[in-house]
Each structure stands twice: as structure tokens, then as C-alpha cells.
Amino acid sequence: MQGLKFFFLLILLTSFNYLSAKPPSDCNWKLVLDENFDSFNSEIWSKTAPHGALKVGKTKAINLEENTYVQNGELVFISKKQKLKMINPKGKTIKAKYSTGYVNSYGKFTQKYGYFEARMKLPTSKGLHSAFWLMPDRGLKPGQINDYKLRKSTGILDGTQSGYTGKGMELDIMEHLTKWETNKFLGAIHYYDSRKDMINKLNYHQIKTNPNDYQTFALLWKPALLAWYINDQEVWRFESARVPDVPMSIILNTMVGGWAGHIDSKKLPAYTVVDYVRVWEEVNP
């Protein structure tokens, strides 16, 4: 009986710690998004890219809605070998030998400043590129989500064109390429300077980890401050007046090939698993 009591006490304490987790900062925080993927919430997430783009990022795969699904309380992206021929919003025929999954909160959930966190289990098959990132939510025209030249002309990353105000920036909370070591991750920022030159700042970090384990990736975003965390440990900090000050939407996806290099198609299908996504905002900063 004593053992049974101890067992239930352990569950209670574990649940309490799970529910009371807070961002690692001396602030008052309010949880504004607590997505545990009990089901797919279409009021927050879309399985297609803004304006119907079939590809996002440097990838040889087309994003298919059926490649993104919820199972056992987790969001799953499946990447597989699959011959495809589809028409994009511009009327152009797009061919691909692979398919993959994608979600974003574009036009549905945005947040300016805060703490963004996702717990994920990443694939290991060669040729895959998983990412958790933020982009300004600014009503792009078709085809502009992944075109750097058009980003520059529309002001998505600098906020100076087309009547936009504020500082935009692409914030990559986590990127992992399976051609790297399993414990190597990337945080990055991309923006334009006053001369309209693209500025890319990358930071590679390695942690002790088991590729079969879940990892937690997070970003603390405050005025003039960005800080990246892996498993609650700060791994990189960027302090600058250029830190973005406009609302962002969330993107999670897996790309195939491209920057990730050679694809080991014999090891496909492969899965990216997202246990949860949480966002906090600072109260009375």
C-alpha cells in the first residue's frame, strides 16, 4: 500500500512540474498557447503554406496535407519517396520525387515577443532537414513566402517597403540536418540591413543527447534580445536594436534534400514528431 501511495505521489509531482513549467527568465509570464495536439486544431494551424505554395525552403519534396496528422497526442510529419506532379498557384507544373509535412499559424496565431517552445523528436534518415521557426505575418502575395528577392521588395524582413512599419526578421529557433551529428543544431536569423543587404547570422551548437530522445527547443524574444535554449539550457544570445518588433507566426516542417544533401531513400518513410508547442507572453514587462 505504501508503494502504491508513493507511485501516485510521484505521478502528482511529475504532473505538477509539467504544468507549472515557466520560461527561464525573471519575469511574470502568461501562457497564451498550450498546444498538446489532442487533435488537429485548424483554428491555429494550417497544413498548407500561405497562398498555396507547394514548397517551403530548399527542398525536393512537396508539402502534402495528408503527410501531416495527429496521432497519440502528437503532431507527426511523414517524409516519404513519392512521385508527384502538381500545379502551383501560379499555374506552373511542379514535379517532385518526395513528399513531406508542414504546419504554420499564418493568419491564425501571431505573437510579438515572448517565449516560444516545442518538444520534438527528430528523424535520423539522411537527407532530411527539420525546422521550428518564426516569420512576420504580413499578408504576402502568392509565391513570396520563400523568395528572398521578393522578401526584400515587400519588406517582410525589414519593414520598410509597401507601407509596412516595424522591424521584420526570420527567426530560426531550431534547424537540424541529418547529415550532421545527431546532437548538432542550428539557430539563425535573417534580415536586411539599411543598405538592403541580406544579413545571415548562424550559430551551431552541440549538446549531449540521444537521437531517440525528445528534445526541447525554445526562443526567448524580448526588445533588443533573442536567446536560444535547448533542453532548458541557453546556447546562444543575440542582443541588438535590430531585434524584430512585429508579430510572428509559427512554422514547423521537414524538408527533404536541398541543404540537407544526399537523400537515403531506402530509409524512408521517416517521421518528425512534435509533442507540444507552447508560447508565453510577458505580463507587465
Say if 19 falls within a structural domain: no
Q: Is residue 174 part of a domain?
A: yes
Instruction: Evaluate whether residue 4 is within a structural domain.
Output: no
**What is the overall mean pLDDT for the chain?**
85
Q: Is residue 138 part of a domain?
A: yes
Residue 242 lies in a domain: yes
Instruction: Say how far apart CA 170 and CA 166 lie, in whole Å.
Output: 14
State the pLDDT at residue 211. 78
Per-residue model confidence (pLDDT) at position 151 = 56
How many structural domains is the chain composed of? 1
Is 1 a domain residue? no
d(CA 48, CA 32): 23
Is residue 52 very low, low, confident or very high in pLDDT (cuts 50, 70, 90)? confident
pLDDT recorded at residue 14: 36
Band (pLDDT 50/70/90 cuts) for residue 20 is very low
pLDDT computed for residue 181 by the predictor = 87
pLDDT digits (tens, 9 = 90+) for 189-234: 998 877 778 889 999 998 888 878 999 999 999 999 999 999 999 9
Residue 166 lies in a domain: yes
Contacts of 185 (CB under 8 A, 6+ apart): 174, 175, 176, 204, 205, 206, 207, 217, 230, 235
- Comparing 54-68, 160-174, 198-212, which segment has the lowest mean pLDDT? 160-174
Residue 10 binned pLDDT confidence (cut-offs 50, 70, 90)? very low
pLDDT of residue 19: 38
Residue 283 corresponds to which amino acid? V
What pLDDT does residue 143 have?
Answer: 46
Domain holding 232: CATH number?
Answer: 2.60.120.200
Mean pLDDT lowest for which of 109-118, 123-132, 157-166, 176-185? 157-166
List Cβ neighbours of 119 (8 Å cut-off, separation of 6 or more).
214, 215, 216, 217, 274, 275, 276
Distance CA 94, CA 84 (A): 8
Q: Are strands 102-104 and 68-71 parallel, antiparallel or unpaired?
A: unpaired
Quote the pLDDT of residue 138.
Answer: 65
The candidate with the shortest Cα–Cα distance to 61, out of 79, 46, 41, is 79
Mean pLDDT check: name the lowest of 150-159, 183-192, 246-255: 150-159
Alpha-carbon distance of 56 to 145, in angstroms, equals 7
- Kindly tell me if the per-residue pLDDT of 71 is higher than 60: yes
* pLDDT value, residue 144: 47
pLDDT band at 49 (very low <50, low <70, confident <90, very high): confident
Domain housing 56? 26-282
Whole-number pLDDT of residue 35: 98
Assigned domain for 9 exists = no
- C-alpha 77/C-alpha 190 separation (Å) is 25
Q: Is the dihedral of CA 176, 180, 181, 184 positive or negative?
A: negative
- 224-262: pLDDT as tens digits: 999 999 999 999 999 999 999 999 999 999 999 999 999
